[in-house]
Amino acid sequence: MPLECYGDASAFILPPLPTMPPAADITQVLLPFGALVGREVDLDAFLQTLMDRIAATMQADRGTLWLLDPARRELFSRAAHLPEVSQIRVKLGQGVAGTVAQEGHSINVPDPRGEQRFFADIDRMTGYRTTSLLAVPLRDADGALYGVLQVLNRRGGDRFTPEDTERLDAIASQVSTALQSTSLYQELQRAKDQPHAPVGYFFNRIIGESPQLQAIYRLVRKAAPTDATVLLRGESGSGKELFARAVHVNGPRRDKPFVKVDCAALPATLIENELFGHERGAYTGADHRMPGKFEAADNGTVFIDEIGELPLPVQGKLLRVIQDREFERVGGTQAIKVDVRIVAATHRDLARMVAEGRFREDLYYRIKVVEVVLPPLRERGAEDIERLARHFVAAVARRHRLPPPRLSPLALERLKRYRWPGNVRELENCIESAVVLCEGEILEEHLPLPDMDRLPPASTAPQSMADPARATATPSSAEAGLLPLAEVERLHILRVLDSVKGNRTAAAKVLEIGRNTLARKLKEYGLGDEV
């Protein structure tokens, strides 16, 4: 999300916290948020709710979380009680917050009248009258300042006391620890290395600013607060489970169970038992009653991963759950009522499966109330690949207790040019290997990527690549070297596919093979089904 945008917090609501006396334990401020900082929450809504809690704790009328934009040497309001404007920016040294950011210490202003550090233009802009103000710095684990926490107008006409300053300093320390576990903090760090790139984030742990992803963010924000069934489609490794969790965490069931069932990982004979449970004596070895995933997820969300692998008899039983909110255990006769939200995911073309009689049409239309198609990483653009790579470098280094290495320009260029058949999951594993094996800087040789998948830049592509009609020319002997015939074929097919910008129909025509044959070969290469 660009810096100039301000998020809608309506999709993320925690129970209101009562106004607490000044001596309240500061741990109560963050207690409801402890389990959320590592989950796929809507970050703007998360921060806004957090500021509501802080203002209530400090008995303040308003609160503001300012974050540092290092490229512009400015602070920008990221979460604030600002009904009058969407966002405010101040330069370092400007106003109380700007002075805190520049000098690095807390400032308590009992009365702004006559106070030189007070920036009165903000009151004039908003029409709000500030009568008292308290601001403290936010620092990371290395002591670097990256934001300011500010509260305005102590309720009851009182002024903020030295004890209030100590309390807000302690709250800021806890807030900073929490924020450093979110994608927001990693985006702020990335902005230091890319001074002209805006700080962007929507959902925690979901990285990307491409137009395709921004459209998906809008869909998820609309769908999450409802109970609508959601179908996520996309290639393996494209992030379907992350978005499924985002739907759950940002909806009204966030405090209830999120239960995953991976249909691809279970034998067909066990899927029904896994979903619906069984009664004692249902089959040999069933010596006691066993609840299924739907019972375990009551009032929460069931995430059915790879729903395309669901056997037809079980599809009928799932349809009954969606329509009537009831089912029977295996071997049982009593109907069990259940209240669950269903989120499903698949890499398969379900519409084609319906036409082939392998998936129930009535179930298909029931699960695609809200359909979200996730793009493969290769279609999201070089900027998203770079954002993800830098995010994973920081996250992996922290997980393995290593200093974050630099990402060399040549290594970054290699990452951008690779086609990523395994999508984001493959990129994460690639970066983890490189971080562990490098010595202070990730070089091209640290990336565990196949050399045969190197594709020439568009500007230096041979004529056979620039002209699809001539793309059937055999790879040169230098390129083929001593490669086995199957690998030469693989290289040729990938190059043709690249020359027609991934259009499989056009590639099959150029290669003079059937589209199904091409799809089978690409699946063998790990590129998966087309979505």
22 with 150, same domain: the answer is yes
User: How many domains are contained in the chain?
Assistant: 4
> What confidence score (pLDDT) does residue 58 get?
92
Q: How confident is the model at residue 476 (pLDDT cuts 50, 70, 90)?
A: very low
Question: Is residue 125 one of the residues assigned to a domain?
Answer: yes
Q: Based on the fold, state whether residues 25 and 146 are members of the same structural domain.
A: yes
- The pLDDT of residue 299 is above 90: yes
Domain end marker among 420, 449, 478: 449
Mean pLDDT score across all residues of the chain? 83
Please check the confidence at residue 481 and state whether its pLDDT lies above 50. Answer: no
- Exposure b/e, 314-346, CB count within 10 A at least 16 = b: bbebbbebeeeeebebbebeeebebebbbbbbb
Position 144 pLDDT exceeds 80:
yes
**Residue 57 pairs with which residues in a beta bridge?**
none
In this structure, the answer to whether residues 310 and 391 fall within a common structural domain is no
518, 420: one domain: no
Is residue 389 a part of any domain in this protein? yes
Q: Could you say which of 449, 472, 504 is where a domain stops?
A: 449
Give residue 68's domain range: 9-193
Q: Kindly report the CATH number assigned to the domain that includes residue 343.
A: 3.40.50.300
Of the ranges 20-29, 254-263, 285-294, 513-522, the best mean pLDDT one: 254-263
Give tens-digit pLDDT for 205-257: 888 888 999 999 999 999 999 999 999 999 999 999 999 999 998 899 988 99
Between residues 530 and 270, the one the model is more confident about: 270
Of the three residues 424, 449, 474, the one that is the final residue of a domain is 449
H helix runs in 303-368, sequence order:
312-324, 350-355, 361-367
Both 356 and 258 in one domain: the answer is yes
- What is the number of residues in the chain? 531
> What's the pLDDT tens digit per position in 392-448?
998 899 899 999 999 999 999 999 999 999 999 999 999 999 999 999 999 999 999
Same domain membership, residue 385 and residue 334: no
Contact indicator for 111, 140 with CB cutoff of 8 Å = no
Answer yes or no: are the C-beta atoms of 128 and 118 closer than 8 Å. no
Q: Are residues 13 and 154 in the same domain?
A: yes
pLDDT reported for residue 275: 94
Helix axes 312-324 and 268-276, enclosed angle (nearest 10): 20
Pair 242, 126 in one domain: no
The CA distance from 410 to 442, in Å, is 9
329-381 confidence digits (pLDDT tens) = 988 889 999 999 999 999 999 999 999 999 999 999 999 999 999 999 999 99
Residues 282, 351, single domain; the answer is: yes
Residue 336 DSSP code: E
Q: What is the pLDDT of residue 281?
A: 82
Q: Which residues lie across from 135 on neighbouring strands?
A: 107, 150
Q: For residue 87, what is the domain's CATH number?
A: 3.30.450.40
Task: Look at residue 19 and tell me whether its pLDDT is greater than 50.
Answer: no
Token representation of residue 216 = 């998906």
In a domain, 206, yes or no: no
pLDDT band at 461 (very low <50, low <70, confident <90, very high): very low
The predicted structure's pLDDT at residue 194: 62
| Statement to judge: residues 350 and 255 lie in one domain | yes
Q: Is residue 1 situated within a structural domain?
A: no
Residue 204 lies in a domain: no
**Burial class of residue 196 in the structure, from the number of CB atoms within 10 Å of its CB (0-12 exposed, 13-18 middle, 19+ buried):** exposed
For residue 200, tell me if it sits in a domain. Answer: no
Which residues, at least 6 apart from 37, have a Cβ–Cβ distance to it below 8 Å?
178, 179, 181, 182, 204
C-alpha–C-alpha distance, residues 437 and 429, integer Å? 12
Q: Is residue 311 part of a domain?
A: yes
The C-alpha atoms of residue 20 and residue 23 are separated, in whole angstroms, by 8
State pLDDT tens for residues 50-90. 899 899 999 999 999 999 887 778 898 888 887 777 788 89
514/274: higher pLDDT: 274
Instruction: Please tell me the distance from the alpha carbon of residue 252 to that of residue 352, in angstroms, as a whole number.
Output: 34
Residues 172 and 236 in one domain: no
User: According to the model, what pLDDT value does residue 475 have?
Assistant: 45
Residues 359 and 470 reside in one and the same domain: no
Q: Does residue 199 belong to any structural domain of this protein?
A: no
